[in-house]
Structure 1
Amino acid sequence: MVSVGDDAPDFTAPKTAIDGDIESFTLSENLDDAPLVLAFFPAAFTGTCTTEMCTFRDQLANFEDVGSTVYGISIDTPFTLSEFATKHDLNFGLISDTNRNLIDAYDVEMDFADLGVYGVAKRAVFVVDADGEVTYSWVSDDPGVEPDYEAVEEATRQAAQQTTQQAS
């Protein structure tokens, strides 16, 4: 599993932008927007996932205040994520991992075997700094548990301060 201090696994995947456009997103090409919050969630249009993404939406200003960029990541198609973003007025990009490459790279795969659903993302949050290093990691084995949003905000604040100090 990816841990604090590790290099964040690089990836390229489709991203649904705020305006609904779908474009290619490569992590290493977007480190200028760091700290990056990578918020993995099992599936769009489900209870806790919707609550989590809407909470990030409602608290986005707190992340933007320190120069952080938030991305939600799930196995849903870009078209599903576009509809999900539109329906819930999400104001940050959503990354589609239909091939499950990111779930594998970050080692956050889980199954709902009793429902016959396999290979979805665990609810997880990683903060990646401008050097591509993971500075915060939270992974839950319980899909009904949301992240500690204040801890994620603090992690982005610390990553931003560290970047500022290194630049000085």
Structure 2
Amino acid sequence: MVDIGDDAPDFTVPLANGGVETFTLSDRLDEAPIVLAFFPAAFTNTCTTEMCTFRDRLANFEDVGGTVYGVSVDLPYTLNEFRDEHDLNFGLLSDERRELIEAYDVVDRWEPRDIRVAKRAVFVVDGDGTVTYAWVGDNPKQEPDYEEVHEATVDAA
């Protein structure tokens, strides 16, 4: 697993932000600290609660110059629908090829069809591309400690 002090794996994926753009982590380090909030699937109960909580607390992250991105394996068009339905005011990254969940070692397998989705996880990346905070949930219903994520963002600023 990617851990504190590691270089954050770089990646390029679709960004759902109302439209669909390309997002490359190394090109966005000026937005640091960057919070990458991995979640299993749009439109599911805990994932909706988590993303809406980040939405509601976004001002706290912006106060320290932080930028939040949700990350799931959903298609960008699904993620835009999810953003619209829940008035999410931050971008969602589509890991439709499952490259990020592999690189960050946060793969969860949903049986019986062995569907690979993201474990619920949060990483904070500073302006140098270094991971300064890493958390991976023990089960899909476990939410991150939002205050701890905020404090890690403050520390990385």
TM normalised by structure 1 equals 0.92
Equivalenced residues, count: 157
| Letter aligned with residue 112 of structure 1 | W
**Residue from 43, 46, 53 that aligns with 1:45:** 43
Structure 1 CA distance for aligned equivalents of residues 37 and 10 of structure 2: 15
**Residue from 126, 132, 143 that aligns with 1:146:** 143
Gaps of 5+ in 1: 161-168
| Letter aligned with residue 14 of structure 2 | P
Q: Deviations over 1:74-100 (max 9, x none)?
A: 000000000000000000000000100
- Residue 141 of structure 1: how far off its partner (Å): 2.7
Structure 2 match to 1:64: 62
- Structure 1 117/88 Cα, relative in aligned 2: closer, same or farther at 3 Å? farther
Note if 1:130 corresponds to 2:119.
no
Q: Which runs of 4+ in 1 moved over 6 A?
A: none
Report the secondary structure of 1:126's partner residue: strand
Q: Which of 1 and 2 has greater Rg?
A: 1
- Percent of counterpart pairs with the same letter? 68
Structure 2 CA distance for aligned equivalents of residues 45 and 141 of structure 1: 20
Report the secondary structure of 1:59's partner residue: helix
Structure 2 CA distance for aligned equivalents of residues 65 and 21 of structure 1: 26
Structure 1 match to 2:4: 4
Gaps of 5+ in 2: none
| Letter aligned with residue 8 of structure 1 | A
Structure 2 match to 1:13: 13
